[in-house]
Structure 1
Amino acid sequence: MNTKIKLGLCQMAVTDNKNDNLEKALSVLEECCKRGADIAILPEMFNCPYDTKRFPIYAESMENSKTLSVISESAKYNNMYIVAGTIPESSNDCIYNSSVMFDRQGNIIAKHRKVHLFDVNITDGIAFRESDVLTAGAEVTVAETEFGRIGLAVCFDMRFTWLYSEMTEAGAKIIITPASFNMTTGPVHWELLVRARALDNQVFHAAVSSARNTSADYVSYGNSMVCDPWGNVVSRADEKEGILIADIDLNLVNSVRSQIPVNQIID
């Protein structure tokens, strides 16, 4: 099994035009391929403004999703794993915040529905209620890949340690979290949480945000990053649109776990 992996984190700008967003996604995914990425990752709600009023308008079913069809073709064309950030997924009169992972042949190998919905009311900060529109998922999600098992979570899930622990216990050595932290919690909690979930589970953790757009109703913090099992920041973006390439070696996971035997899931 190849332990060396090149991750491509796509911190793309998201607009209110779905077709433009898909064109941008295809462009950054192709650039990831040119730069040698094995796994490319898009941000949370990459085809849709992060706005509860917009989720029902942009929602797509798994069976008839233009967005997922486009990303599937990209995975196949570029011979690359892709985590399709998240999209608003419609199913049985419900809407979920769903992340879908494709293999190199464009096949869906995992789908994670955001378990913990973003419902907050911060004094002198942000108020937001995903639950007004979205339904919570209920599953722990781990994908089987040529590199071993990879866990999927979404944004606010990051604050709930049990979910990451269960992905780790299921064999994940990488956890990928498409996200869109805001300008209230991002500056104080983003790096802390990304590093903490890597450190306490002794895994690589890739957290991918959309780029910051100060004219949007919801302003993303950006700062996509990859952290290693020791809790170090391997690579980090700023707030602007761009692609972050990070080289990781899964041998470090076993090395850290053997030195500090907190997660004794060593193969």
Structure 2
Amino acid sequence: MRVALAQIITGRDPAGNLALVAEYAGRARAGGAQLVVFPEATMRAFGNSLLDVAEPLDGPWASRVRAIASEQDIVIVAGMFTPGTADGGGAPGKVRNTLLVTGRGVDTSYDKIHLFDAFGFEESDTVDAGSEPVVFELGGVTFGLAACYDVRFPDLFTENADRGAEVNIVCASWGSGPGKAEQWKLLARARAADSTTLVLACGQGDPASLGIVPRGAAPTGIGHSVVVSPFGEVLEELDGAPGLLFAELDPAVVKEARAKLPVLANRHKF
């Protein structure tokens, strides 16, 4: 199966970000991909208000993503924001950090479980955590979903594998800083080895690559989207700039890895 990772840099305008989804989905399909992964916060970049753009999964932004997926005959995974809990007066108080998956008969979503309360940023101030892992099937291959900070927590990846995942998708808007690119790649490689899955880790590109200076502590991306083998080997990688990364997925590689290194079968659950 041919897949693509769309390392884009989103901004404040959801309509402009939808235009990027349409452009990169078209390029991915033209390159033969059956699935294209976009980053976390595709709907609107972090560092901006989220409440005023949050909408249900049947709202206009998500519906347009579905239309793009249908037009291109491709599965799209993209980060958006959906309504969370209301405040005491009944008005929306928080959002959920959601991955929408749509196209080719697939329609599901995942709410980020582990919120990024680290490195001076408090995602839980504005976002409600999800609670349930999600996997989906495409062309006989099972995919698990994760978002950004989730990559620091191995149990989600092994749980996805227990639910049948041969590939784990990570959509991120990684925070910049000393050593953060190295951590990102290390964690993607570790989670692949933990779960003996292929890992597709797609991040927001680095705004600095376009001469944009991020404001505040919001995690706005560093690039370095990677495809990792079940043995933790980086197979493909982008730099910090926007780009489209293609990869060929072979589930037989996962079966081979699990035969040689049966960590899922050998582990003890405490």
The two structures share one fold, judged by TM-score above 0.5: yes
Provide structure 1 residue ranges, at least 5 long, that are not aligned to the other structure: 122-126
The aligned amino acid for 2:56 is: S
* Count, aligned residues: 251
The aligned amino acid for 2:75 is: Y
Shift of 1:96: 0.2
Aligned-partner Cα distance in 2 for 1:156–1:237: 20
Residue of structure 1 in register with 2:5 after alignment: 9
Question: Is 1:31 aligned to residue 27 of structure 2?
Answer: yes
Aligned-partner Cα distance in 2 for 1:96–1:194: 23
Residue of structure 1 in register with 2:233 after alignment: 232
Residue of structure 1 in register with 2:58 after alignment: 63
Aligned-partner Cα distance in 1 for 2:231–2:187: 14
Shift of 1:187: 2.2
Aligned-partner Cα distance in 1 for 2:71–2:14: 21
Identity of aligned residues (%): 27
Shift of 1:92: 4.9
Which of residues 110, 129, 134 is equivalent to 1:136? 129
The aligned amino acid for 1:206 is: L
Alignment of 1:91-102 (within 5 A): 91-93=84-86, 94-102=94-102
SS in 2 for 1:37: coil
The list of structure 1 runs, each at least 4 consecutive aligned residues, that deviate by more than 3 angstroms after superposition, is none
The aligned amino acid for 1:220 is: G
Aligned-partner Cα distance in 2 for 1:186–1:72: 33
Provide structure 2 residue ranges, at least 5 long, that are not aligned to the other structure: 87-93
Tell me the alpha carbon deviations over residues 53-73 of structure 1, each in whole angstroms, 9 at most, x when there is no partner. Answer: 511122112232x22111111
Residue of structure 1 in register with 2:89 after alignment: none
**Contact (CA 8 Å) 1:181, 1:220: kept in 2 or not?**
yes
Aligned-partner Cα distance in 1 for 2:145–2:233: 20
Tell me the alpha carbon deviations over residues 109-161 of structure 1, each in whole angstroms, 9 at most, x when there is no partner. Answer: x211000000013xxxxx10111110000001111222332100111011111
Question: Is 1:160 aligned to residue 160 of structure 2?
Answer: no
Aligned-partner Cα distance in 1 for 2:10–2:135: 27
Aligned-partner Cα distance in 2 for 1:148–1:35: 20
Question: Is 1:74 aligned to residue 68 of structure 2?
Answer: yes
SS in 1 for 2:169: strand
Shift of 1:263: 2.4
Shift of 1:183: 1.5
Aligned-partner Cα distance in 2 for 1:82–1:197: 22
**Contact (CA 8 Å) 1:61, 1:91: kept in 2 or not?**
no
Calculate the TM-score normalised by the size of structure 1: 0.90
Aligned-partner Cα distance in 2 for 1:186–1:112: 25
Aligned-partner Cα distance in 2 for 1:247–1:146: 13
SS in 2 for 1:144: strand
**Contact (CA 8 Å) 1:211, 1:239: kept in 2 or not?**
yes
Shift of 1:264: 4.1
Aligned-partner Cα distance in 2 for 1:236–1:6: 16
**Contact (CA 8 Å) 1:258, 1:264: kept in 2 or not?**
no
Superposition RMSD on alpha carbons, in Å? 1.6
SS in 2 for 1:139: coil
Aligned-partner Cα distance in 2 for 1:49–1:256: 37
Residue of structure 2 in register with 1:124 after alignment: none
SS in 2 for 1:197: helix
Shift of 1:200: 1.2
